[in-house]
Amino acid sequence: MKSVCPYCGVGCGLLVDVRRGRIHAVRGDPDHPANRGGLCGKGQQLAATARTGDRLLRPLVRESADRPFRPAAWPDAIDRVAGTIRRVVAEHGPGAVALYLSGQLLTEDYYVANKLGKGLIGTPNVDTNSRLCMASTVAAYKRAFGADGPPGCYEDLELARDVLVVGSNLADTHPVLFGRLRGASPHLTVVDPRRTPSAAAADEHLAIRPGTDVALLLGMAGALFEAGLVDEAAVSRRCSGLEEVRAAVLPPERAAAVCGVPAAAIRAVAGRLAGSPAALSLWCQGLNQAADGTDRVNALINLHLLTGQWGRPGAGPFSLTGQANAMGGREVGGMATELACHRAWDDPAGRAEVQRHWGLGELPPGRGLTAVELVEAMAERRVRVLWVACTNPAASLPDGRAVRQALRRLDLLVVQDVVHPTDTSELAHVLLPAAAWGEKTGTLTSSERRVALARQAVEPPGEARPDWAIFAAAGAALGAPHAFAWRDPAEVFDEHVRLTAGRDLDMTALSHDLLARDGPQHWPYPAGGSPRARRYEDGRCHTPDGRARLVPVAYAGPAESPTAERPLRLVTGRERDRWHTQTRTGRVAALRGGAEPVLALHPDDAAAAGLAAGGLAHVRSARGAAHARVTIDPSLAPGTAFLPFHAGPLGQPGGWANALTPRALDPVSFQPELKHTAVRVRPGAVVVTGGALADAVAARLRERGGDPEGVLRVVVAEAPLSGAPWWDVAQAPPPGPGMAVLDLAAGPEPLAALPALVDAGWRVSWEGERWLPAPVRRLVERRLAAPGEPGTLRVAGPAATECAVRDALVLAPGGSLGIHAPLSGDPATLAAFLNGELAARGALRRVVAALSPRSSLVLAGDPLGGPDDAEQGVDLLVHEDRVAGTAQVWRTAAGQVLGVAAVLPPAVAADAEALWLADPDPALLRRRFPVR
């Protein structure tokens, strides 16, 4: 079955292999025009992400965020949501309700949510995580061409002879497109503060100072005028604003002084752009995520307009879309700054068209609150209901601690998602289970404006439903069943495309049937017309005079400048194979990467901070702190640091990347400045613990709500000791208020290590673990501290672990916390779990975790295999020592094998995981690793 990858804006086509009602494997579609059979690591692992054990399987509700969830029937959950919305609208007006959507939703999902929010509820506050992603590009396209959407198409990657990449590491983020680009061998120039894989592969790397892109681009424009490379008559025929832009450019030397790129290089790149037979520029979040993001993009587009490098094959500005359907969301109008289908809020004719089309009465008067503005409104109780769909704002929005506090102030937080817990769902009042990729049908639009159909391959598990159907149910409950009565997503799509009639994005020729028959299609594609791969080839733009607009911009610099207290510029970004806050890739061992975030520092900055490679860093900004393992990167400009943003408060309760970033917004696009934060870095203390106990400690830290200064991350997986990443730190007690927790139930190693830790100077607190061997007990008592006292080593035993596990499962009736590795080292607890005493539906998932340099845990289960394990009478069959530890199998009373747990040498464990990925049948694992 053909489908589309749900991750990034490349829009790779897939062939999905379904066996026994489950997605068995995924490979690239050789006939798809975007990827021609290729896939990156994320696409290759899609089958594994379709089988996570922490799916949200039924609606869950609770009265307040400190109470446990309880299951609810769909009608009751929807009534709870609709009832609260009705009350809040009656008491505080429709603006007190907001929807926060996602570029991972399908266009049909987006359409229904937009109609529900702006049309039925009457709130303008319908925004999306595309605000963090493409908002600056949307605003810049509208300023330059009068309409959103890139002018070019992927074919231009192969037709361009010179390519300028600014603020994109597409080798990691859009690898399939990077492969196409490399195959065509244009001259490649990459502008990036880091020597990324893209920069390393380029013919030229301009290592710009973070936040100075506008200065560089103004310097390049200055070089064009200086060298007489602007054909002013030709430019004036096609563009307005030439005089204003000429007055705004910078001499290359002045630009060089700001951005750190030599003036000669600025002149050379500008000259190459002007003299190229076909020049293309590509960009992504490095330009967009800035307080001057829109100006950055317009400064880059200006270079194309000044040199005539646009509106023809191989030439033009071409944004790389971050998320799979960020473009579709923009088309629908799923942004608070747009109304619908590229109509502006203040366009009377456009408002009338939308109002007629929806038939739901008066529309809100003007634009709504954007993502970061919503946080302030929630904190001030101007917004009281937030409905989050398919995204994780508690981890991804800037100034993360303020975000969490604001979310806690809501009357109602609805989280509609595929899995639970996420950093956001753990704060929710109502959880609505959504169908995942492969379980629903709908469309996505790629970076090149090409609409594709993703088809349902399997049934959603449990009671999960497609997102559009959930929004439609709410529409019916809120009193407009007639307006939300589609029978299937094809009907939703038909209603959406009718609203595009006559617009720049007219796609009235499209339908699900046509896309299924003819494959993905570019817009515009009006009924009776043909699709257009390139726009503006006739020079006609969507501006009042039909010309493109040169937009004068000035360099202002980033919102936060380095200071003596916070001397480093922190850049945040993605790592290859990881996707956003890892609610999907984090559940697949092959994509998960290391357990800890890694902070890249220039050698001089690391030395100044007293840090070496492998050390633990405490990073602090004006808002919060984060913790990371240090790597030294000599290619970084001194004063620049880089931290991936994938971690959130669930995994890093002591601090995550977006706990640092500022709320500074671009005044045009309202996109926050995620790419530039002034920070200081110093060695950190550490919290060390393992597994379920880690969760309990993490929960306590979160309850305290503050920023435990000097306390580092809780290791949520397992608790390896010798050779583990924190071991070196654990041997040196923190000078400040750091705290460590030693989980003695995690196996024999922690107990053996205790004397060494006491010798290293730790003071120990414990609460009467009487089972401690007498010699250890005597040793500990020599250095006793009060329980929980900061700066101490907290010792905990099996009882603590078991209680924590039980509490965790009670708190998660969906069983979504999964099973944590220390259970493997505690056979009694694992046996209790497998015997059903601790069972919860869906609680088992595949885990491969290193227990020590010599052994790994493999835990493979079948979480969607049927009714609750407990109901089926799960039977622990085997418990034996094998190879380096234990291996266990459990199955139903009827004999169906549900899963395998084994402690194996790492190489064998990897082998077992590969086998599991190839065919998720526990019986196979059992055959391969036989147990009695």
State the residues that interact with ligand SF4 by CB under 6 A: 5, 7-8, 10-12, 35, 39-40, 42-43, 174-176
CB of 4 to ligand SF4, least distance (A): 8
Q: How far apart are CA 686 and CA 654, in angstroms?
A: 9
16 neighbors 181 (Cβ within 8 angstroms): no
CB of 170 to ligand SF4, least distance (A): 9
CB of 2 to ligand SF4, least distance (A): 14
CB of 35 to ligand SF4, least distance (A): 6
CB of 34 to ligand SF4, least distance (A): 7
CB of 178 to ligand SF4, least distance (A): 9
**Residue among 28 and 119 whose Cβ is closer to ligand SF4:** 28
Query: Among 266, 182, 179, which residue's Cα sits nearest to residue 217?
Result: 266
914-920 — which CB contacts under 8 Å span 24+ positions? 916/846, 916/858, 916/860, 917/45, 917/47, 917/48, 917/590, 918/25, 919/24, 920/22, 920/51, 920/846, 920/860, 920/862
CB of 334 to ligand SF4, least distance (A): 20
Write out the DSSP string of 343-410. Answer: B-TT-HHHHHHHHHHH-S-PPPSS----HHHHHHHHHTTS--EEEEES--HHHHSSSHHHHHHHHHT-
CB of 16 to ligand SF4, least distance (A): 13
**Residue among 42 and 420 whose Cβ is closer to ligand SF4:** 42
Provide the β-strand partners of residue 641: 570, 601
Please name the amino acid found at residue 750.
Answer: P
**Residue among 175 and 648 whose Cβ is closer to ligand SF4:** 175
**Residue among 175 and 597 whose Cβ is closer to ligand SF4:** 175
Query: Among 893, 887, 884, which residue's Cα sits nearest to residue 925?
Result: 887
CB of 451 to ligand SF4, least distance (A): 15
**Residue among 40 and 739 whose Cβ is closer to ligand SF4:** 40
**Residue among 173 and 276 whose Cβ is closer to ligand SF4:** 173
Query: Among 677, 796, 684, which residue's Cα sits nearest to residue 730?
Result: 684
CB of 184 to ligand SF4, least distance (A): 17
**Residue among 69 and 645 whose Cβ is closer to ligand SF4:** 645
**Residue among 49 and 114 whose Cβ is closer to ligand SF4:** 49
Looking at 65-212, list the stretches that DSSP marks H as alpha helix, in order from N- to C-terminal side: 74-92, 107-114, 135-145, 155-159, 170-173, 175-184, 197-201
**Residue among 321 and 689 whose Cβ is closer to ligand SF4:** 321
843 neighbors 818 (Cβ within 8 angstroms): yes
CB of 183 to ligand SF4, least distance (A): 15
CB of 28 to ligand SF4, least distance (A): 7
CB of 10 to ligand SF4, least distance (A): 4
Tell me how crowded residue 833 is: count the other CB atoms within 10 A of its CB: 26
**Residue among 441 and 585 whose Cβ is closer to ligand SF4:** 585
Using Cβ positions, the residue closest to ligand SF4 within the complex turns out to be 43
Q: Which two tokens stand for residue 253?
A: 């030397």
**Residue among 35 and 640 whose Cβ is closer to ligand SF4:** 35
**Residue among 5 and 595 whose Cβ is closer to ligand SF4:** 5
856 neighbors 848 (Cβ within 8 angstroms): yes
**Residue among 437 and 471 whose Cβ is closer to ligand SF4:** 437
Burial of 533 per CB tally in 10 Å (0-12, 13-18, 19+)? middle
Q: What are the CA-CA distances from residue 579 to residues 5, 8, 174, 588 (Å)? A: 13, 9, 12, 11
Q: How far apart are CA 184 and CA 790, in angstroms?
A: 59
Q: How far apart are CA 822 and CA 807, in angstroms?
A: 15
Question: Phi/psi zone of residue 264: left (φ > 0), alpha (ψ -120 to 50 degrees), beta?
Answer: alpha
**Residue among 26 and 505 whose Cβ is closer to ligand SF4:** 26
CB of 162 to ligand SF4, least distance (A): 24
Cis check: omega of the bond before 421, within 30 degrees of 0: yes
CB of 695 to ligand SF4, least distance (A): 30
Q: How far apart are CA 509 and CA 525, in angstroms?
A: 6
Name the one residue in this structure whose structure tokens are 């159909």.
Answer: 453
Please name the amino acid found at residue 153.
Answer: C
Q: Residues 106, 110, 116, CA angle at the centre, nearest 5°?
A: 150
**Residue among 174 and 627 whose Cβ is closer to ligand SF4:** 174
Q: How far apart are CA 679 and CA 461, in angstroms?
A: 44
Q: How far apart are CA 217 and CA 900, in angstroms?
A: 57
CB of 622 to ligand SF4, least distance (A): 34
Q: Which two tokens stand for residue 401?
A: 């601690």
**Residue among 178 and 493 whose Cβ is closer to ligand SF4:** 178
Exposure string over 132-171, b if 16+ CB within 10 A, otherwise e: bbbbbbbbbbbbbbbbbbbbbbbebbebbbbbbbbbbbbb
**Residue among 44 and 416 whose Cβ is closer to ligand SF4:** 44
- Spatial neighbors of 654 by CB under 8 A, at least 6 apart, are 625, 626, 627, 687, 701, 707, 708, 711, 712, 713, 714
CB of 12 to ligand SF4, least distance (A): 3
**Residue among 580 and 623 whose Cβ is closer to ligand SF4:** 580
Q: How far apart are CA 419 and CA 431, in angstroms?
A: 10
CB of 503 to ligand SF4, least distance (A): 26
Q: How far apart are CA 637 and CA 634, in angstroms?
A: 8
Query: Among 691, 450, 516, which residue's Cα sits nearest to residue 2?
Result: 516
> DSSP letter at 482?
G
Give φ, ψ of 765 to 5 degrees: -120, 145
932 neighbors 902 (Cβ within 8 angstroms): no
